[in-house]
């Protein structure tokens, strides 16, 4: 079972080395690593070229202008040839060396369409200290009505799901990952399973955690996704999501 991993980069030279190294350390070897660069102006492309030989033919990459993160991810989906696809952001890295091993083991069950697990957040100055732990253990399909979703960086789905139901909608500024999972899990009811494992270490300060402005945009994008798919918006139910988030911080 080949797993395609997609990393979108843009001026990511300061962090992407950790990303590349964590992929190389994976014990599961049947992978295809796709790097979609948005014509970076720093040393990102030089790093990609330097690491390419270490992947021994398993890395494919492109560097060209794009229309943002979700457009780059869609390019990666179109390039992917693996049976299973996952996303690893350029400022994140795998928490353990056997993450893909666990994904492959679970998805050998042909009754499953996707799996997901946990992630945790750190600050750049101390990558060993957990600031926030995001567990997907309590996630259910119905909880998507309150804006909840499994940790997207831990989400691995069969490529056939994207072929059947589509990739990322670039009309969403920040919430395209939520809209996509709402479409796959809530609307089309793909079959998923939670894996009790910390998949990814994420640096704070990403596009969805960069201040109050980003949170307001997430709310707007979520409401837009609810309207699109005919899901009733309940402000009290939705607000509870932010109360629960407080317990994720250390």
pLDDT at residue number 40: 98
Distance CA 206, CA 224 (A): 21
Convert the pLDDT of each residue in 48-103 to its tens digit: 999 999 999 999 999 999 999 999 999 999 999 999 999 999 999 999 999 999 99
pLDDT at residue number 140: 94
Distance CA 37, CA 208 (A): 20
Q: What is the CATH number of the domain that holds 40?
A: 3.90.550.10
Residue with tokens 């991810």: 73
Distance CA 21, CA 42 (A): 19
Mean pLDDT of residues grouped by 10 in the chain (250 residues)?
98 98 98 98 98 98 97 98 98 98 98 98 94 95 92 98 97 94 97 98 71 79 93 74 64
pLDDT at residue number 137: 95
Query: What are the structure tokens assigned to 93, written together?
Result: 């890295």
Q: Is the pTM of this model over 0.85?
A: yes
pLDDT at residue number 246: 59
Distance CA 177, CA 127 (A): 25
Distance CA 4, CA 24 (A): 13
Range of the domain at 10: 3-246
Contact 221, 178 (CB under 8 A): yes
pLDDT at residue number 15: 98
CB atoms within 10 A of CB 82: 20
Number of domains in the chain: 1
What dihedral angle (degrees, nearest 10) is formed by the CA atoms of 124, 128, 129, 133?
100
């Amino acid at each position: 079972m080949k797993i395609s991993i997609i990393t979108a980069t843009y001026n990511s030279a300061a962090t992407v080395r950790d990303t590349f190294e964590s992929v190389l350390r994976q014990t599961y070897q049947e992978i295809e690593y796709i790097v979609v660069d948005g014509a970076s102006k720093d040393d990102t492309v030089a790093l990609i070229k330097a690491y390419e030989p270490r992947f021994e033919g398993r890395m494919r990459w492109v560097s060209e202008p794009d229309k943002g993160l979700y457009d780059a991810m869609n390019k990666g989906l179109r390039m992917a040839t693996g049976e299973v696809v996952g996303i690893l952001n350029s400022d994140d890295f795998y928490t353990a060396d056997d993450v893909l091993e666990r994904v492959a083991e679970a998805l050998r069950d042909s009754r499953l369409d996707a799996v997901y697990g946990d992630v945790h957040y750190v600050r750049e100055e101390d990558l060993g200290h957990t600031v926030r732990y995001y567990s997907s253990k309590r996630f259910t399909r119905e909880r998507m009505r309150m804006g909840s979703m499994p940790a997207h960086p831990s989400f691995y789905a069969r490529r056939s799901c994207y072929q059947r139901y589509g990739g990322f909608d670039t009309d969403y500024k920040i919430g395209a990952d939520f809209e996509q999972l709402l479409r796959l899990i809530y609307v089309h009811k793909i079959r998923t399973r939670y894996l009790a494992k910390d998949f990814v270490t994420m640096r704070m300060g990403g596009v969805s955690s960069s201040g109050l402005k980003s949170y307001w945009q997430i709310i707007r994008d979520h409401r837009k996704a609810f309207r699109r798919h005919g899901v009733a918006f309940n402000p009290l139910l939705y607000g509870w999501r932010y109360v629960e988030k407080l317990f994720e911080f250390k």
